[in-house]
Amino acid sequence: MNTLSDVTILDLTHMLSGPYGSQLLADMGANCIKVEPPGNGEGTRKLLANDDMYSIEGVGAYFLTLSRNKKSICIDLKNSEGLALFYELVKHADVVINNFGEGVPKRLGIDYATLKQHNPNIITCSITGFGETGPERNRAAFDLVAQGMGGGISTTGEEGAPPLRAGIPIGDLGGGMFATMGILAALHARNTSGSGQHIDISMQDCQVSMLNYMATMYLMSGVQPPAVGNSHFVHVPYGTFKTQSRYLIVACMGDAFYQKLAIMLDDPELKDEKFATQPMRWEHRHFINERVQQHFEKQSCEYWLEQLKEHRIPAAPVNDFEHALSDPQVVHRQMVVDVPLQNGQTVKQPGNPIKLSGAGEQTFTPPPTLGQHTGEVLQQLLNLSPLKIKELKENGVIA
């Protein structure tokens, strides 16, 4: 995909939220250059690196996934000559993205106020736990902290049971996704204004944004949304049901779907006229759910999916990773792709969910070795000679 091929990004991110955001941009064709410290490089290079199941030749699943389509250069930003070299790269870049703690970019001399002196058109983006303003801006955060502070965990889990985080790290992933949106918006704005700007992304803000209509309901009523497990606070039956094989999802949103379900199950109790409208179904939700469960546990998930499809009732299996990643629709949509590695092998990963009709064929490049593109980038962007690059390396400025 070459949609963003004219955009150069200096990627100072580490771990998950920042690398995921820059990965989305790299998948869309941006020239994404990881700027890593000499030595061990960016933090995810170490994660699972020695795990026999989740690594390939010392590269773990985190880095394999988050660093595809990127280049790597090693610069010591704590070295004055290295920082000066970085400033030269900024002059040729469009975006600088980081997810350091609040205040760290300024201490390193890579904050927006500093970088715009070297390139007035530069766009910078910082992803932090709580943003760069406000009383909690210095508070440390990882995914679980962001999820907890954002409010969503309070509605997750079964009624009366302890709260549960989302199974996937939506605190981190949400920060990366919103950072991508902010960067694309800033690039568009620059086309009009001719100047760059700074993007301040708070992981907590992102979680609150995703509360969406439920937050509005609370602000209107003052009533805390309850934890209802996999069911719904309005519609019945709506949730997961055990079958003889795997769990089944049925989502009867509205009277018409409920009537179809009652007819399909041919259950006189469920056909009772008193259940024709939502208020009575909600009042008797436990009875209805138990009754529906009794039917579903008599056959396999696959049997019921055919029946539900025939009656046009919204339903789905609860897919584990095996089923989800082999689903014919997922495969057709190229959401499992083969990413090449440095050794010539490939590794399967989730694909790019953004499908653009004019973007060309989707391709992937291997996750880079540490500093693999240092010489190439310095020659192409800064026109440095091989002799100068050798000198910088000997002085410990680059690696």
Note the Cα 250 to chain centre separation in Å.
27
Question: Which amino acid makes up residue 365?
Answer: T
Q: What is the residue-wise DSSP string for 310-375?
A: HTT--EEE---HHHHHH-HHHHHTT-EEEEE-TTS-EEEEE------TTS------PPPPTTTTHH
Return the SS3 of 129: coil
Give pLDDT, residue 339. 98
CB atoms within 10 A of CB 202: 27
Kindly report the CA angle at 128 between 201 and 149, in degrees rounded to 5? 95
Please state, in angstroms and rounded to a whole number, the distance separating the CA atoms of residues 217 and 213: 6
Q: Which residues contact 336 (CB under 8 A, 6 or more apart)?
A: 325, 330, 348, 349, 350, 351
Return the SS3 of 58: coil
pTM: 0.94
Please state, in angstroms and rounded to a whole number, the distance separating the CA atoms of residues 247 and 245: 7
CB atoms within 10 A of CB 14: 20
Give pLDDT, residue 321. 97
199, β-bridge pairs: 125
Please state, in angstroms and rounded to a whole number, the distance separating the CA atoms of residues 395 and 374: 15
Annotation says 27 is catalytic: no
**DSSP-H helix ranges across the chain:** 17-27, 61-66, 80-90, 104-108, 112-118, 143-150, 170-193, 203-209, 212-221, 255-265, 278-283, 285-296, 301-310, 321-326, 328-332, 374-382, 386-394
Question: Of these residues, 27, 76, 143, 172, which one is catalytic?
Answer: 172
Q: Digits of tens for pLDDT over the chain (399 positions)?
A: 789 999 999 999 999 999 999 999 999 999 999 999 999 999 999 999 999 999 999 999 999 999 999 999 999 999 999 999 999 999 999 999 999 999 999 999 999 999 999 999 999 999 999 999 999 999 999 999 999 999 999 999 998 899 999 999 999 999 999 999 999 999 999 999 999 999 999 999 999 999 999 999 999 999 999 898 999 988 999 999 999 999 999 999 999 999 999 999 999 999 999 999 999 999 999 999 999 999 999 999 999 999 999 999 999 999 999 999 999 999 999 999 999 999 999 999 999 999 999 888 889 999 999 999 999 999 999 999 999 999 999 999 999
Judge whether 281 and 275 are in contact, CB under 8 Å: yes
Please give the structure tokens belonging to residue 171. Answer: 């605190």
Residue with tokens 């994404």: 32
- Residue 398's φ and ψ, nearest 5 degrees, are -130, 170
CB atoms within 10 A of CB 67: 26
Altogether, the residues listed in the chain come to a count of: 399
Give pLDDT, residue 32. 98
Give pLDDT, residue 197. 98
- Residue 249's φ and ψ, nearest 5 degrees, are -100, 130
Give pLDDT, residue 335. 97
Please state, in angstroms and rounded to a whole number, the distance separating the CA atoms of residues 56 and 64: 9
Give pLDDT, residue 359. 85
> For residue 212, what are the CA distances in angstroms to 204, 216, 247?
13, 7, 28
Please state, in angstroms and rounded to a whole number, the distance separating the CA atoms of residues 395 and 398: 8
Please state, in angstroms and rounded to a whole number, the distance separating the CA atoms of residues 143 and 150: 11
Judge whether 206 and 127 are in contact, CB under 8 Å: no
Question: Which amino acid makes up residue 119?
Answer: N
